[in-house]
Amino acid sequence: MPLSSYLYRHKNAGLYCLKSSNLLLLIFFLFDRIKEWLKFYLPQLLK
């Protein structure tokens, strides 16, 4: 699930909840990006 839709769906939970889970969301988001990046670039680098 994209980060934007996750935040949109859970914005009614309150700012405190959002702030406390912000770091966790960021880590998951970055991990997802890195996974996509590796999937795309790794085959090209290994050629």
Using one digit for the tens of pLDDT, what is the confidence trace for 27-45? Answer: 888 898 989 888 888 888 7
Checking if the pLDDT of 16 tops 60, the result is no
Q: Give me the residue spans of the domains in the chain.
A: 3-45
Structure tokens at 36: 């996509």
Q: What is the pTM of this model?
A: 0.42
Q: Return the closest-CA partner of residue 25 out of 40, 11, 42.
A: 11
Looking at residue 46, the DSSP 8-state letter turns out to be: T
